[in-house]
Amino acid sequence: MKTGLVTDILGYMPFEEMLDTCVELGIEALELGCGNWSKAPHVDLDGLLESTIQREKFLDAIKSRGLEIAALNCSGNQLEPTEEGEAHKAVVKKTFQLAGLLGVETIVMMSGCPSGGPNDITPNWLTHPILPPHFATLEWQWNEVAFPYWEKAVKVAKEYGVQKIAIENLGFNLVYNPETLFKLRNEVGDMVGMNFDPSHLFWMGGDPIAAARTLGSAMYHVHAKDVRIERGVNDAHGLIDVKPMESFSSRSWNYVALGHGHDVSYWKEFFTVVKMMGYEGPVVLEMEDLTMDPLTGVKKSMNVLKEALPRDFEKRNSSDHSLVNQ
């Protein structure tokens, strides 16, 4: 279980400075944003697709530092029936293609969220379909939009050599928990698994440890990300909160640095259960705590991650570009 980082958090750094920082922090694997919701700060998607020389330099910069690519990320809403949705589809396809050229096995993305019907263009995440029209809408979203798209997407991914598509369990998507992941997986096959991000289960009121046991071998990628339920605010208003993330002082929950929502003992149990379920892949830190600067948040999170993962962090010589566990 190698330590990894979603490098968007260090997007203010040039590519090679970001790589050197990861080495200094003891990060071993990278999840690189390729576009859509990511600004792709470290990936020139079109340039890498067009140039063998550029791909070789890109990979050499990573491998020469003892790092590896854990996954490429093209998260967005490719099911949105607009020009933006079409643009997201194009980035997804290009990311599949680049993964094949770079030898990256895993793609991280979202399932997407369709509109509320064939004559609507606004994505509609149904969370309380208690009336018959809402049930009909949900069935339309799955059967007429999601399943057809994903059947084609899986075929394209296989053609480019992708081994796994890890769908993140984020709200405002058709796939947001184990049950909905298995609904899609049962339809399109086991190319699709979950990028299991425990933070989203917290704010939806679930238990990530129980979810990990339910997912089992369907966990294809794992994020290390924490949420703090804000006492007082949540008690009065509940967990459904539509205020922007920047309004962290008044939200009922917030994304926080690892260990700032749940202590290290919780994460020790979580990562041990993940390993018990057979997962041996990278554990990739995603840091979105707006109460501290990005590098500070990554450093604090890495301290917790190193203590919590069920492995030793041994001293390696400088040629291995790794540090002693702090």
Sequence-separated (6 or more) residues with CB below 8 Å from residue 160: 96, 97, 99, 100
Q: What is the pLDDT of residue 325?
A: 34
> Three-state DSSP class for 20?
helix
Q: Which CA distances in Å does 280 have to 22, 154, 222, 308, 309?
A: 21, 23, 10, 15, 11
Q: What is the pLDDT of residue 318?
A: 40
Q: What is the pLDDT of residue 315?
A: 53
Interatomic CA distance for residues 315 and 43, integer angstroms:
31
Query: Which two three-digit tokens encode residue 16?
Result: 């090679």
Q: What is the pLDDT of residue 313?
A: 86
CA 200, 206, 207, 210 torsion: positive or negative? negative
Element spanning 94, H or E: helix 83-102
- Is residue 37 within 8 A of residue 87, CB to CB? The reply is no
Query: To the nearest 5 percent, what fractions of the chain are helix, strand and coil?
Result: 45, 15, 40
pLDDT in tens, the chain (326 residues): 999 999 999 999 999 999 999 999 999 999 999 999 999 999 999 999 999 999 999 999 999 999 999 999 999 999 999 999 999 999 999 999 999 999 999 999 999 999 999 999 999 999 887 777 778 999 999 999 999 999 999 999 999 999 999 999 999 999 999 999 999 999 999 999 999 999 999 999 999 999 999 999 999 999 999 999 999 999 999 999 999 999 999 999 999 999 999 999 999 999 999 999 999 999 999 999 999 999 999 999 999 999 999 998 875 434 444 433 33
- DSSP string over 131-143: SHHHHHHHHHIII
- Is residue 152 within 8 A of residue 187, CB to CB? The reply is no
What does DSSP say about strands 68-73 and 3-6: parallel, antiparallel, or unpaired? unpaired
- Is residue 201 within 8 A of residue 211, CB to CB? The reply is yes
Q: Where do the domains of the chain lie, and which CATH numbers do they carry?
A: 3-316 (3.20.20.150)
Query: Which two three-digit tokens encode residue 64?
Result: 């020469």
Q: What is the pLDDT of residue 319?
A: 41
**Counts of helices then strands in the chain (DSSP H, E):** 12, 10
Q: Which CA distances in Å does 84 have to 79, 173, 180, 215?
A: 10, 16, 25, 32
Give residue-wise pLDDT tens across range 135-160: 899 999 999 999 999 999 999 999 99
Sequence-separated (6 or more) residues with CB below 8 Å from residue 170: 75, 110, 176, 197, 200
Q: What is the pLDDT of residue 296?
A: 98
